[in-house]
Structure 1
């Protein structure tokens, strides 16, 4: 019974990122704003207080106001910045879809592998973790993309996961990324970068 529930929940979460931005916007409008604020607030306080405090104390390492503003220009700008990537990952965790960025990052690492033996091992591991049906962190991919990856497992190349990576990037870019830019988390980090953030106790 528990396994069935997990599979159903996984399908629901995968379906969520298939919806259009307009559909998501309508659904968000229908949600009770208090519940939404509480959910974001919970993850903001639980997962980012130490990060925000770190950024405040370590001025030489924290992103500048210009850096944080550039994150709103494109997902590529966000993911190319060390802290931007970390913060976006925390946000995706709050939305229960961190498997998308975890897969994307795994693909980035995969493309840099030069050893064929290591490439094959990594490919098999990624298939088990993200691609196969009912994988622990199954991402939302169509059958043809999944099947192409499976067919290449014995002789993987650096581009074996490229099509899947692009699809997941598009999902994040069109769904999760706009919500991140509109989130309390991003707004607070903008304030911190400008030196206007509220004091957070250590």
Structure 2
């Protein structure tokens, strides 16, 4: 049965994730993907062009799921800073827990590539904008100050995630610490000129 182009791409991404999960990111090539997905190599190359393109597509899929979860959770958020900070923290660490080692393997396989650097910049901007929008109602920070604060908070989240994934701290502690950092940064940060 011939699948529509977007359905074929999603099917191949599902197969690619299975390969990463069961065999590791090093085993994922466009050739192995084509064989396991039951498509010709030219079809795999038509969709992803390069191995890095395939890995970026997988990484983007994971990040898009996180952004979707976070947006959904924030729509339902109470209008209180700690609750919003807790939603941001929980969404970040629950997403990492659900994606598990596959996300780390994909990220590691892409380290140092221009494609990954571009994707990370793009997603960092999306995350920071989401955080700024969610935290702005609770902040006295000027726009030009809130954004760098959110960039720093995202850096803290990444460092906490790394420590949690290495087993240095629990996910619960990482989530709690990030919530506290968000509240402190927004509530006690440098204030707008009056």
More relative contact order, 1 or 2 (CA 8 Å, 6+ apart): 1
Pairwise same-fold verdict (TM > 0.5): no
Compute the TM-score of the two structures, normalised by the length of structure 2: 0.31
Comparing both structures, which one devotes a greater share of its residues to helix? Answer: 2
